[in-house]
Amino acid sequence: MSNSILNASGIVKTFLSGDRRIEVLRGVNLDVAAGESISIRGESGSGKSTLLHLLAGLDAPDAGTLTWEGSPDTGAKRRAAFLGIVFQSFYLIPELDALQNVLMARRIVGHIGSAERDRAKELLKRVGLAERMDHLPTQLSGGERQRVAVARALMNAPRLILADEPTGNLDEHTGSAVIELLLGLCRETGTTLVLVTHNADHAAKCGRQLVLREGRFA
């Protein structure tokens, strides 16, 4: 318990759509230890994205508790330093070039100096985009964009990375490359990874594999 990065217990989430209640999560328990890599699979609509948003503190559960490194503070300020998120559809800011998109993660929580600039450049080098730093998102391919998003998620040296189907918009080959990169970087930096994916091969590369079914981990 002492080196638990993230702990969720009894998480319940219900959506009201019209007068229908959709019970998406019915008591999810999850404990993630530092340095672990976990994959979450599940059918479409099983609530994987919903769970990830809850774990990221972007939404509040109807019941259950969430702690980050033992602390219940999951506010915006702490989130920026504690975790990085990678989404299925990249979400890069179209007006900013690759370097500035990576720096944006830092800009929101603090000052940008030459040290931060160097770190962002270093990260972009690590994801293989050394030559593309001043390119705008529209000038990059899907795989390249997702690699920028990975670099952005790592920018603040977070303890945890949450990735929601990061390969969903990529072809097989590119997707595998991105997953390898993500796993490699997390292993290198000791960052914990929670990866939501449909792909069994990608899931198999993680240390622990979970399946979400009927609102619980099976």
Ligand X SMILES: Nc1ncnc2c1ncn2[C@@H]1O[C@H](COP(=O)(O)OP(=O)(O)OP(=O)(O)O)[C@@H](O)[C@H]1O
Q: Which does 79 bind (CB under 5 to 8 A by kind): ligand X, Mg ion, other proteins, none?
A: other proteins
| Closest separation in Å from C-beta 24 to ligand X | 4
Rounded-to-integer distance, Cα 48 and Cα 88, Å: 12
Helix axis angle for 142-154 and 114-126, nearest 10°, is 140
Q: Which two tokens stand for residue 48?
A: 């994987």
- Residue 133 backbone dihedrals phi, psi, to 5 degrees: -60, -35
Q: Which does 34 bind (CB under 5 to 8 A by kind): Mg ion, other proteins, ligand X, none?
A: none
Cβ nearer to ligand X, comparing 7 with 50: 50
Residue 157 interacts with other proteins (CB under 8 A): yes or no = no
Candidates 58, 63, 200, 204: give the one binding other proteins (CB under 8 A): 58
Applying CB under 8 A, the span of 20-28, 107-115, 168-176, 200-208 interacting with other proteins comes to 107-115
Buried b (16+ CB within 10 A) or exposed e, 141-180: ebbbbbbbbbbbbbbbebbbbbbbbbbebbeeebbbbbbe
Distance of CA 145 to the CA centre of its chain: 15
Rounded-to-integer distance, Cα 13 and Cα 50, Å: 8
| Closest separation in Å from C-beta 20 to ligand X | 9
Q: Which does 144 bind (CB under 5 to 8 A by kind): other proteins, Mg ion, ligand X, none?
A: none
CB 82 within 8 A of CB 68: yes
| Closest separation in Å from C-beta 46 to Mg ion | 9
Q: Which two tokens stand for residue 150?
A: 């990975």
Cβ nearer to Mg ion, comparing 46 with 191: 46
Binding residues (CB under 6 A) for ligand X: these are 15, 17, 22, 24, 42, 44-50
Residue 210 interacts with other proteins (CB under 8 A): yes or no = no
Residue 87 interacts with other proteins (CB under 8 A): yes or no = yes
Question: What angle is formed at CA 6 by the lines to CA 110 and CA 202, rounded to 5 degrees?
Answer: 95
Candidates 4, 49, 189, 209: give the one binding Mg ion (CB under 5 A): 49
Q: Which two tokens stand for residue 73?
A: 């503070």
Q: Which two tokens stand for residue 47?
A: 């609530």
| Closest separation in Å from C-beta 5 to ligand X | 22
